[in-house]
Amino acid sequence: MILQTDHLEKRYGKITAVNNLSISIPRKSVFGLLGPNGSGKTTTLGMILDVIEKSEGSFTWNIGEKGNERKKIGAILESPNFYPYLSAVENLKLVCKIKEVSYDLIDPILKQVGLFDRKEDAFKTYSLGMKQRLAIASALLSDPEVLILDEPTNGLDPKGIVEIREIIREIAEEGRTIILASHLLDEVQKVCTHFCVLNKGNLIYSGVVEELSKEKNRFQLRAENSDLLKLALENSNQISEWSEEELFFSVLIKKDSSIEVLMQELSSKNIFVNHLSQKTFNLEKKFIEILDQQL
C-alpha cells in the first residue's frame, strides 16, 4: 500500500467534512475517490497533502524517505495558476526553478500532454483543456511517484475529457500511483482500478472497479442458427435466465454451472457460438443502490 489512512477526520465546527476514514491505496493503482458534492473528497485530498489540517486520526505514505514524502507527490487541487502572458515553456521554466529540476524535462513532458505544438503560445490563449494539461505537465516535472488530481475533467467538453483520460492512463502505465477525486461514476469506471465511495464524509464502499464492472455470470452470445440456439437455451439446465435481444441472446449462468459447461453443451448439439461476450455491468446502478442504502 502506498497510502494508508487510519480513522482520518476533519471537522469544521459542527460540520464533519470527513468522518473516521480508513482507506488503503495500493501502489500503482488509479484510485478514485467517488462521491457527490460535499461528500468530503477535496477535504480528504487536502489532508493527505498536508494542506488541510486533520482533526483526528492519521495517515502514512509509503514513499521516498521519511519526512521527504511530499517531494514525491504531484498534485493539482485547484484550477491551475500560471502567468497569463507567459508561454507554456516560460511558465514551466519557473516551475523547474522552484522545484530545482532541469529544463530538459520540459519538452518531453509537453509532448506527453499534447501541448508541444502550442508551447510558445501565451497561457491566456489556452483552452480550459489545455490549461488542465499544462497543470498536469507542471505536476509531472518533479517526477512524482504519486499524482493527485481533484476533478481533473471538470468543465471539459467530451473531446477534452477523453484527452485527459488518455493522459491519466499513460501516466499510470509509467508506474505512478494516481489518486483522483470525481463525482462522475463514468469517469471512475473508465480510468480507475480501485475506488471508494464517500457520502457525507463517511466511507460507504470500497472495492476494485473491474469486479464491479462485470457482472460475472451474464453473457451475450450468438450462433449462425439462432433457432437451434434458442431451442437449446430453452432446454438448458446451465442457465437461470435468458432473453432474446436484437442481435444476441443474453443468458445468466447458474451459480453452480459455468460458461464452459454451457459451451460444451451447445457444441455437443452441433451449435457453434460465433460471438460470446461478458455483459458489462452498470456501475451507476450499483452506485445509486449504495447511496440509497444509506438513506
Ligand X SMILES: Nc1ncnc2c1ncn2[C@@H]1O[C@H](COP(=O)(O)OP(=O)(O)OP(=O)(O)O)[C@@H](O)[C@H]1O
- By the criterion CB under 5 A, which residues form the site for Mg ion? 41-42
Burial 29-46 (b: 16+ CB within 10 A, else e): bbbbbbbeeebbbbbbbb
Nearer to ligand X, 50 or 224 (CB): 50
Nearer to ligand X, 38 or 64 (CB): 38
Instruction: Look up residue 282 and give its three cell numbers.
Output: 452498470
Nearer to ligand X, 19 or 236 (CB): 19
Which of ligand X, Mg ion, none sits in contact with 15, Cβ below 5 to 8 A by type?
ligand X
**Residue 17: closest CA among 46, 38, 48:** 38
Nearer to ligand X, 55 or 226 (CB): 55
Which of ligand X, Mg ion, none sits in contact with 142, Cβ below 5 to 8 A by type?
none
Distance, in Å, from the CA atom of 275 to the CA atom of 261, rounded to the nearest integer, reads 16
**Minimal CB distance to Mg ion: which residue?**
42
Distance, in Å, from the CA atom of 84 to the CA atom of 7, rounded to the nearest integer, reads 41
Which of ligand X, Mg ion, none sits in contact with 17, Cβ below 5 to 8 A by type?
ligand X
Task: Tell me how far, at minimum, the Cβ of 22 lies from ligand X, in Å.
Answer: 17
Instruction: Look up residue 202 and give its three cell numbers.
Output: 463517511
DSSP 113-138: TT-GGGTTSBGGG--HHHHHHHHHHH
Which of Mg ion, ligand X, none sits in contact with 183, Cβ below 5 to 8 A by type?
ligand X
The residue with cell 522552484 is 98
Task: Tell me how far, at minimum, the Cβ of 31 lies from ligand X, in Å.
Answer: 15
Q: Where do the DSSP E strands lie in 187-238?
A: 194-199, 202-208, 214-223
Nearer to ligand X, 187 or 265 (CB): 187
Distance, in Å, from the CA atom of 79 to the CA atom of 82, rounded to the nearest integer, reads 10
Which of ligand X, Mg ion, none sits in contact with 194, Cβ below 5 to 8 A by type?
none
Number of H helices, E strands in the chain: 10, 14
Which residues of this chain interact with ligand X, rule CB under 6 A? 12, 15, 17, 35, 37-43, 183
Nearer to ligand X, 34 or 266 (CB): 34
Which of ligand X, Mg ion, none sits in contact with 40, Cβ below 5 to 8 A by type?
ligand X
Task: Tell me how far, at minimum, the Cβ of 294 lies from Mg ion, in Å.
Answer: 19
